[in-house]
């Protein structure tokens, strides 16, 4: 596609069902490597990232089947045997989150070779915390020519993992590795994002013993084996928030369904402060604006439940149309 042509000046009106959360779906897909039984994920988004990860999982030995079920898109992942514990650069570079196959591969096979994910345009996102967590669990880590070589031939061991700062990816990675570790793992200063709670629910449905997700302390009692399960991916809060901002920008009335307004409460509060109508419903939220000019409001991004950094750009664009001066402070990514 060379260009997108948009003819503006019209209000937005209608109903939009919200997709499953990408940031949750890709970690749930990685969790399928932890069992030799099928994992069925419902409410799955159909995105380039999930397709890339599906290709990587296929190379590792998974069978990935995408179907349309009665409640929307589903993906069935089945890895009866890990045929390769190598994740090459040509696939990992396409999506940073695919690096998270490292932990499940070590947990299940005792070894892995995974490419480092490379740089990030919105700021430094090194994987040091991921590797430190795996080392705390007993994995031997070597870095050579852009690859992580990890070994734990006698299996991973439960440990206390204390993150020096909050990291969603590292917290998820530690959870994925620790569920099959021998003993109890305690993760301190853990991220509290709803995607962590979603991962906990899925892992527990597979037979894991995880508690505390959504709080700064997560406790995992390792088990010898996980089994298959069916799990519905939570709604995508960034997609939900983006549509909400679009409705506030253009005016009109937009109903977002298959959504959870509690996941974007920090955004909805700011929209209300700006003069936008917000109605929380049983299955989503209604965004209304009658055409009157919005008021400028200030905000600062923060880890969940604060204002999401991934909604900062959208809200900044909205504030260019508001009356008055808005101050926005980005605290998560230095180049965003």
Distance CA 148, CA 196 (A): 24
Known catalytic membership, residue 202: no
The tokens for 180 are 């099959």
Return contacts of 49-53, CB within 8 angstroms, 24+ apart. 49/22, 49/95, 49/97, 50/22, 50/25, 50/26, 50/75, 52/91, 52/94, 52/95, 52/98, 53/26, 53/29, 53/95, 53/97, 53/98
The set of residues, in sequence order, having a beta carbon less than 8 Å from that of 274 and lying 6+ positions away, is: 248, 294, 295, 296, 297, 318, 322
The set of residues, in sequence order, having a beta carbon less than 8 Å from that of 28 and lying 6+ positions away, is: 39, 41, 198, 199, 202, 231, 233
Catalytic residue selected from 120, 192, 202, 276? 120
Adjacent-strand bridge partners of 283: none
Three-point CA angle 81, 87, 92, nearest 5°: 135
Give catalytic residue positions.
120
């Amino acid at each position: 596609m060379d260009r997108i042509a948009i003819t503006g000046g019209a209000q937005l009106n209608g109903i939009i069902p919200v997709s499953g959360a990408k940031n949750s779906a890709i970690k749930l897909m990685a969790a399928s490597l932890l069992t030799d039984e099928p994992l069925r994920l419902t409410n799955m988004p159909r995105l380039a990232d999930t397709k890339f990860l599906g290709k990587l999982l296929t190379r590792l030995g998974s069978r990935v089947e995408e179907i349309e079920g009665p409640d929307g898109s589903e993906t069935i992942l089945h890895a009866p045997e890990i045929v390769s514990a190598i994740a090459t650069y040509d696939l990992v570079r396409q999506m940073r989150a695919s690096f998270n196959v490292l932990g499940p591969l070590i947990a299940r096979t005792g070894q892995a070779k995974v490419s480092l994910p490379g740089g990030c345009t919105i700021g430094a996102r090194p994987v040091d915390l991921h590797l430190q967590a795996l080392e705390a669990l007993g994995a031997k880590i070597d870095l050579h020519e852009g690859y992580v070589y990890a070994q734990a031939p006698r299996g991973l061991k439960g440990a206390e993992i204390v993150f020096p700062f909050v990291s969603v990816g590292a917290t998820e990675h530690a959870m994925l590795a620790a569920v099959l570790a021998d003993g109890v793992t305690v993760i301190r200063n853990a991220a509290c994002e709803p995607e962590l709670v979603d991962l906990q629910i899925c892992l527990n449905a597979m037979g894991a013993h995880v508690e505390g997700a959504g709080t700064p302390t997560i406790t995992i009692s390792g088990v010898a084996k996980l089994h298959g399960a069916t799990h519905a991916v939570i709604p995508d809060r960034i997609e939900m928030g983006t549509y909400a901002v679009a409705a506030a920008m253009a005016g009109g009335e937009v109903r977002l369904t298959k959504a959870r307004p509690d996941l974007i409460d920090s955004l909805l509060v700011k929209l209300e402060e700006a003069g936008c109508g917000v109605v929380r419903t049983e299955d989503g939220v209604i965004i209304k604006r009658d055409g009157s000019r919005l008021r400028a409001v200030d905000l600062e991004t923060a880890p969940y439940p604060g204002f999401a950094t991934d909604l900062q750009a959208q809200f900044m664009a909205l504030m260019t149309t508001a009356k008055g001066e808005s101050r926005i402070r980005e605290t998560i990514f230095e180049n965003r």
